[in-house]
A and B are shown apart, each in its own frame.
Chain A
Amino acid sequence: MKRIRVFSLLATLLLPIGAIYAGARSSIEVTVTLDDTGTAISAMGNEADAYNSLDANQYIGCGGTSFSGWCQAHDATADADGLVNAAFCFTSDPVLIAHIRSVAADSFVRFTVDPLTGECVTISVSHNSFYRPKAP
């Protein structure tokens, strides 16, 4: 009887092993990059990780119409005067608009901005199994 208890305890300890080997996972929260003048020139992050983050500030994503598109991102910091914690860009380039259309709810998104015009220079979108989905 004592031996059964020991092995039952062992079985309970081994239970999480299966949970550990559930596939590779990656978490990328939103970061905004500034140039030397303090202007936002790029941003990247995973949409689901921004949504699932503990702060109420982060977001990243893109949208648009048939004739124009835009991307926007905000990092984890709260807004304050003089603080640049968000990046935006717009485009009328059909190729970039097509990239924007491929953005899904749990995509990794990265975009770079021309600081003088605000136009999107590049938009990268990635869908991978190691990105976790949005939590309810």
Chain B
Amino acid sequence: MRRLILSVALVGLGVGGGYVLGSQRAQPQAPAVARDRAERAPIVVADRGLSEAELRRVVKEELAAGAPGQPGGQGEGSAREPAKPAPAASPAVLDDGMRRVHQAIAKRQWTRDDATALSRTLEAASPEQRAAILRTLVPALNRGEIKLTYRGDLF
């Protein structure tokens, strides 16, 4: 009888051990789920007993305080960074970017140096210039006319 109990206990130990091992293997996924939930957490307005009129007043005050040029607002010299204006279009920027792309097509390769240089060029380019440069580079990559010589960001 004792042997039988001991045997059943051993079988239980085996199954339980296997289950624990399986659970441990599955655990590394958990942080990803948690992170995703954290990133996508909905904005919840806590119920603090504010009436609709009070809420409207608070929102108006906050909007007024945030307007540039308002006394006490978030205008010049405040901690909030103003939106960056779009870069002015300079023909030299477009020329520089297009020259690099055409050189890459001629060499049939895109290097890390090309990527770094193009990244700087795109920062200085206007949206239209940026689109013109990338509409030349990217289709050439997709046709296999240019190969990346490194493993890293495209630009």
Q: Which residues of A contact B (CB under 8 A)?
A: 3-4, 6-8, 10-23, 37-41, 59, 63, 65, 67-68, 70, 72, 74, 79, 82-90, 92, 102, 104-106, 113, 115-119, 127, 129, 131-133
Contact status A118-B138, CB under 8 Å: yes
29 contacts between A and B (CB under 8 A): A3-B7, A13-B14, A14-B14, A18-B20, A21-B22, A22-B23, A23-B29, A68-B122, A70-B153, A82-B144, A84-B143, A84-B144, A86-B148, A88-B138, A88-B154, A90-B134, A92-B131, A102-B39, A104-B32, A104-B35, A104-B36, A113-B138, A113-B142, A115-B142, A117-B135, A117-B138, A118-B142, A129-B33, A133-B28
Nearest to B155 among chain A residues (CB) is A70
Q: CB within 8 A of A15: which of B7, B18, B148? A: B18
Tell me how far the C-beta of A22 lies from the nearest C-beta in chain B, rounded to whole angstroms: 4
- Closest partner residue, chain A, to B16 (CB atom): A18
Q: B105 to chain A: closest CB distance in Å?
A: 13
Q: How far is the CA of A115 from the CA of B83 in the complex (A)?
A: 33
Residue from B16, B28, B32, B33 whose CB has the most chain A CB atoms within 10 Å: B32
Tally B residues with Cβ within 8 Å of A: 46
Interface membership of chain B positions 100-139, coded 1 if the CB is closer than 8 angstroms to chain A and 0 otherwise:
0000000000000000000000110001001100110111
Contacts of A82 in B (CB 8 A): 144
Q: Which residues of B contact A38 (CB under 8 A)?
A: 143-144
B35 partner residues in chain A, CB cutoff 8 A? 104
Q: Is the CB of A11 within 8 A of B134?
A: no
Helix, strand, loop or mixed for chain B's interface? helix
Q: Does B3 contact A (CB under 8 A)?
A: yes
List chain B residues, Cβ under 8 A from A83.
144
Contact A14 B139 (CB under 8 A): no
